[in-house]
A and B are shown apart, each in its own frame.
Chain A
């Protein structure tokens, strides 16, 4: 590429393969993310996006291929080790701890990180994140009482509580939430990206948001990377259009 080859990638995935019986969900998927980048990951349903996220974040082990975070090989490690290394993910269905308060939800990743168990600093950070995500008034409410969108916000905040977070993978963070919460979440992501140089991989079907946030998007089709480039660039490619819309009659 161009002259900024000096910045080495924070995340390198190479040749990831995952089979479920006869179905090859990921067939040699690779990706490189630069520090502070906001990458979009799009593709039609069943393209293998979530499988890729699972392989990268240790929820499932790949049949082949490697994942490196910086210099560290994290392929197939247990999820908490990968979180420890600084790579965190969110889930399509917000996995919050319904019986715990929103603040307690945020303190779990803070304490679990182990490197920094200062409770006062953690509480301050939790308050800041709750304020940024407009959940400030719900600090002591059980997470089970939050709306679907608020749970998504809370889940995103939980990842930001990890002190040494470097790469954050968000799996469909905007799915099924109202426009106001969507904007809050976008602002929150951009804020953390600017202030802490966190790298994001955002899986989404919301093309408008992806266009706004991600200079480069990766397109997956049928378990493989089909294209990489700006959204407008890849959107003109015939194979991408065909995968989304089917073959045209002409």
Chain B
């Protein structure tokens, strides 16, 4: 193995490129948690929904030239599914005493995971699909990169920027930040926190749907394709700290980098193991995660 600077730069670039997509996934999980106070275990299934919508839209409706339009449709579609599901499945959690809410949310989102997976099998069978892509190979740094990969990273960065704008500059962002800090105070200020829950849940799962749509040409479309990304999302949450936005972003980039460096310089079959080594290391040094707050109550 050659340890050249070129290889190092190449490895860092592809690590960061995957990292932003990981960050997108993790941000979705952490964002939903910060508002709705629930961990959505069905996150990967929304990734799956996004990838299926992308496949159908590109293959049967729009063609590969309009992949970007398909991405927008896939994201909006997952948003809508989330927005409609939250009031039915998650909201009833608040009718239960505080100690039971976590149990309720866990059972309900795992049930949702199974339902959505089975639905995908029923509709599309256990087959693997792949939406066509005609994006050209791009030279990024010293070595060429797949066009779809570059496009995916670029779109993820744009989406993260948009998310930041909404949170920092709009009224709904202000209401979301307030609700994340203090639910009851937001409610007595007149904020309809239940509608905000649905919005936050929808934004969070739309991030997963976007990641699924963007990665569809690279990682394929099949009923359980969200599982690996979900696991990575949760690895990042542990690394960055639950409920922390910078934690999700930096954790995502870090995981991408570590995987990429490990694959290039140590051994490629262990790609998924490097992340867990990172998790162990972080837990050893900072048990609450890099940006985590104190442990959760109750």
Of A91, A95, A98, chain B has the most CB atoms within 10 Å of the CB of A95
Separation of A98 and B191 alpha carbons in the complex (Å): 17
**B3 on interface, CB distance cutoff 8 Å:** no
Residues of B within 8 A of A78 (CB): 187, 194
Separation of A162 and B190 alpha carbons in the complex (Å): 9
Query: Are B175 and A95 in touch, CB under 8 angstroms?
Result: no
Q: Take A111-B171, A117-B171 as given contacts and tell me if A98 and B181 are in contact as well, using a CB distance cutoff of 8 Å.
A: yes
**B193 on interface, CB distance cutoff 8 Å:** yes
**B101 on interface, CB distance cutoff 8 Å:** no
Q: Take A104-B174, A111-B171 as given contacts and tell me if A95 and B182 are in contact as well, using a CB distance cutoff of 8 Å.
A: yes
Query: Are A100 and B192 in touch, CB under 8 angstroms?
Result: no
Separation of A99 and B182 alpha carbons in the complex (Å): 11
Residue of A nearest to B192 (CB): A80
CB-contacts of A74-119 with B (<8 A):
78-80, 83-84, 88-89, 91, 95-100, 104, 107-109, 111-114, 117
Separation of A108 and B170 alpha carbons in the complex (Å): 11
Q: Take A80-B193, A117-B171 as given contacts and tell me if A108 and B178 are in contact as well, using a CB distance cutoff of 8 Å.
A: yes
Q: For B178, give its contact among A57, A79, A100 (CB under 8 Å).
A: A100
Residues of B within 8 A of A80 (CB): 187-193
Residues of A within 8 A of B191 (CB): 80, 108, 112
**B107 on interface, CB distance cutoff 8 Å:** no
Separation of A14 and B36 alpha carbons in the complex (Å): 35
Residues of B within 8 A of A100 (CB): 174, 177-178, 181
**B8 on interface, CB distance cutoff 8 Å:** no
**B157 on interface, CB distance cutoff 8 Å:** no
Separation of A79 and B174 alpha carbons in the complex (Å): 19
**A158 on interface, CB distance cutoff 8 Å:** yes
Separation of A84 and B193 alpha carbons in the complex (Å): 13
Query: Are B177 and A109 in touch, CB under 8 angstroms?
Result: no
Query: Are A109 and B190 in touch, CB under 8 angstroms?
Result: yes
Residues of A within 8 A of B189 (CB): 80, 83, 108-109, 112, 158
Q: For B188, give its contact among A59, A97, A107 (CB under 8 Å).
A: A59
Residues of B within 8 A of A113 (CB): 190
**B185 on interface, CB distance cutoff 8 Å:** yes
Q: Take A109-B190, A111-B174 as given contacts and tell me if A99 and B185 are in contact as well, using a CB distance cutoff of 8 Å.
A: no
Of B182, B187, B189, B192, chain A has the most CB atoms within 10 Å of the CB of B189
Q: Take A112-B190, A162-B190 as given contacts and tell me if A97 and B182 are in contact as well, using a CB distance cutoff of 8 Å.
A: yes
Report the minimum CB–CB distance from B52 to chain A (whole Å).
36
Residue of B nearest to A99 (CB): B181
Query: Are B193 and A97 in touch, CB under 8 angstroms?
Result: no
Residue of A nearest to B185 (CB): A95
**B108 on interface, CB distance cutoff 8 Å:** no
Q: Take A59-B184, A79-B184, A91-B185 as given contacts and tell me if A97 and B190 are in contact as well, using a CB distance cutoff of 8 Å.
A: no
Separation of A17 and B187 alpha carbons in the complex (Å): 23
Separation of A117 and B172 alpha carbons in the complex (Å): 12
**B160 on interface, CB distance cutoff 8 Å:** no
Separation of A98 and B186 alpha carbons in the complex (Å): 12
Report the minimum CB–CB distance from B204 to chain A (whole Å).
20
Residue of B nearest to A117 (CB): B171
Residue of B nearest to A144 (CB): B181
Residues of B within 8 A of A57 (CB): 188
Residues of B within 8 A of A109 (CB): 189-190
Of A80, A96, A100, chain B has the most CB atoms within 10 Å of the CB of A80
Residues of A within 8 A of B190 (CB): 80, 83-84, 88, 109, 112-114, 162
Residues of A within 8 A of B171 (CB): 111, 117
Report the minimum CB–CB distance from B168 to chain A (whole Å).
11
Separation of A162 and B178 alpha carbons in the complex (Å): 16
Query: 0/1 per residue, A50-91, Cβ < 8 Å to B?
Result: 000000010100000000000000000011100110001101
Residue of A nearest to B171 (CB): A111
Residues of B within 8 A of A83 (CB): 187-190
Leading 8 A-B pairs by shortest Cβ distance? A95-B185, A112-B190, A83-B190, A109-B189, A79-B187, A112-B191, A111-B171, A97-B178
25 A-B residue contacts at CB 8 Å? A57-B188, A59-B184, A78-B194, A79-B184, A80-B191, A83-B187, A83-B189, A88-B190, A91-B188, A95-B188, A96-B185, A97-B177, A97-B178, A98-B181, A99-B181, A100-B174, A100-B178, A100-B181, A108-B174, A108-B186, A108-B189, A108-B191, A109-B190, A112-B190, A162-B190
